[in-house]
Amino acid sequence: MRDAIFHGETFLVNQLKDNGKFVYGYFPARQKVLSNYNVVRHFSSLYALLEAIPFTNRTDDYKKVKAAIQWGLENATIEKEGAIFINDNGELKLGGQALLMLTLSKYQDVTKDDTFMPVLMKAFKGVPFFRQSSGKLIHVLNPDLTVKAAYRIIYYEGEVAFALSRLYELTHDQAVMDLVKQILDYMVANDYGKYHDH
């Protein structure tokens, strides 16, 4: 397992360009780089790196992760109503909001660098825009914060609950605890266990 984590981290770090953007993928038969880019996966890959680095102890990789976080914030987020959202090709996804909070929380947890705390709290402020008055979560918003897709994939709820839990662990902010409790209460009341979300 140690080798798998070490090699996985090496691969991801080697896909980061100097500007902080990943080489997203390749057409292996034609040796060409894919031109599309999924910014939610940008942040999920950074989260994976932040889970691996404390295990491998290759702390020099934190510099590349920080540059990649900055690239993502500068090139793939928008600010609306005092909140920050990942803008993935015109879609603001609940899962993207979760990955943004997870990545920034994990970065601060493992590095003790609080550079991104103001952004992290603005990402937290974005979560209520995905909630209906019933407590049900909307999965995808348009950049103007109107509903694009009420439902996309069931795992978004679990992702955002996990992200809020990690944020609370970092900040001990009661507003974060209140929101994660409301989301979890809704999930329990509506038998989300039947979806077997890990």
Tens-place pLDDT, residues 1-59: 889 999 999 999 999 999 999 988 877 777 787 778 889 999 999 999 999 999 999 99
Q: Are strands 83-86 and 92-93 parallel, antiparallel or unpaired?
A: unpaired
User: Structure pTM?
Assistant: 0.92
How far is Cα of residue 41 from the mean position of the Cα atoms in its chain?
8
What CATH code is assigned to 2-195?
Answer: 1.50.10.10
Count of positions (residues) in the chain: 198
Say whether 15 sits in a helix, a strand or coil.
coil
